[in-house]
Structure 1
Amino acid sequence: MKKIILSAIAIMAFAFTNAQETRFGVKGGLNLTTFAGGNYWDAKSLVGFHVGGFAEIKVIERLAIQPEVLFSTQGAKLDDLDVNSKLNYINVPVLAKFFITKQWTVEAGPQIGFLVSAKVDGEDAKDAYKSTDFGFNFGGGYNFTDNLSVNIRYTVGISNVADYNAQDFDEYFDSPKNSVFALSLAYKF
């Protein structure tokens, strides 16, 4: 495991030092979030937002690595329990961004989220949720100009967000996982 981590760091360091161009930017937009998982099929979506910054690091002409830091409001409305779960995260996705053309892009990559706060019907519930969340992003975008772009992304939750450890696959499958559909507007400097 140690060799894999060191190899990944070496590859990323090589890519960053050989990067043709790095641009920084800000982004923000709307989230449509819910919980996914076996016992959460009836969870309703909540509307939230995300805002933050990113770096677009060109590796080759058509490929860039895009790390981001985003504040994101997430959660779900659970009708069967008659509660709203509102979770706030600092999300750190690292995306591989492929330029199909100069205007059209596709992207994918992992994400780690750090729980900032959690409220269930206005009451503090941070102890009921895990402090970290893992997910995988995929999406696409359109560049209006060299500076202004729009992006659509879906984040599939991989880890259980509730603060308990699943004992087997069925329990893991039935655990709540974040599911986020995001629409963003971005500006690169």
Structure 2
Amino acid sequence: MKKVFFIAVLAVFGITATQAQEVRLGAKGGVNFSSLSGKGFDAFDDPEGRTSFHLGLLAEIPLSERFSIQPEVLYSGQGFDLVSREGADDTEVQLDYINVPVMAKVYIVEGLYAEAGPQIGFNVKNEIDSDPDDFGSGETELDGDMFNDVDFSVGVGAGYRFNNGLFLNARYNFGLSDIVNNEDLPVEVDAKNTVFAVSAGYSF
């Protein structure tokens, strides 16, 4: 995991070396609402999904007055609710990633922007948690061979950056690649990550 994180950081901040005078560096964090979609999966999924978090670093590289590129490195808690029980704790499948999105940002008016871009994710955690409200108490590690190590997705979103550097952002990521390794499964499953993320952050 440390090696993956180090490579991802280099990918984000290595690109800024030649434009260091213009680049805005920053950090962000927020809430994820995640689930899976696809063939062979829908019958097991709670529509409410898993609620988790994301946290990471970013570098916004202006290419013109209204257009910029923003690579990021994020730790992202994803997955889904395997079982939802009224009056009791849900059972979550927790699939966490180190995500590296590269977003193209267009400023519509001062401060307000739309964004879209690709994302690559590296799977770093696979667990079932029967008591997600009590950190660490109900976790059981899953066989890592059940899931593919790399995930590809596309994100679209919008946000607002204030003059003091604070910003708010909402983004929807929809998966392009199957996250389940079908080689050892008796039936074919086509499951893709879907994540709606709400963030707050600061850049300077």
Same structural fold, with TM-score higher than 0.5 when normalized by the shorter chain = yes
Per the alignment, residue 40 of structure 2 pairs with 39
Residue correspondence of structure 1 range 165-180 to structure 2 within 5 A: 175-180=190-195
Per the alignment, residue 131 of structure 1 pairs with 149
Shift of 1:41: 2.7
Give identity over the alignment, percent. 43
| Cα distance in 1 between the residues matched to 2:164 and 2:109 | 13
Residue correspondence of structure 1 range 103-118 to structure 2 within 5 A: 103-118=111-126
Shift of 1:91: 0.1
Shift of 1:163: 1.5
Residue of structure 1 aligned with 2:72, choices 52, 68, 72: 68
Structure with the higher strand share, 1 or 2? 1
Per the alignment, residue 52 of structure 1 pairs with 56
Q: Secondary structure at the match of 1:60?
A: coil
Query: Which amino acid in the other structure matches residue 181 of structure 2?
Result: D
Shift of 1:18: 6.9
- Number of positions where the alignment pairs a residue of Structure 1 with one of Structure 2: 168
Residue correspondence of structure 1 range 150-165 to structure 2 within 5 A: 150-164=168-182
| Cα distance in 2 between the residues matched to 1:112 and 1:72 | 12
Per the alignment, residue 183 of structure 1 pairs with 198
Q: Please identify, of 51-60 and 139-148, the stretch whose mean Cα deviation from structure 2 is larger.
A: 139-148
| Cα distance in 2 between the residues matched to 1:25 and 1:73 | 20
State yes or no: 1:96 paired with 2:104: yes
Shift of 1:127: 2.3
Deviations 1:10-34 (A, max 9, x none): xxx7x98579821100000000000
| Cα distance in 2 between the residues matched to 1:96 and 1:57 | 10
| Cα distance in 2 between the residues matched to 1:128 and 1:120 | 13
Contact 1:20 1:60 in 2 (8 A): no
Deviations 1:52-92 (A, max 9, x none): 00000001110000000000000001249x95210110000
Deviations 1:83-137 (A, max 9, x none): 5210110000001011001121000000000011110232211221111111000
Q: TM-score, normalised by structure 2?
A: 0.76
> 5+ residue gaps in structure 2?
1-14, 85-89, 130-138
Q: Secondary structure at the match of 1:127?
A: helix
Q: TM-score, normalised by structure 1?
A: 0.81
Contact 1:31 1:73 in 2 (8 A): yes
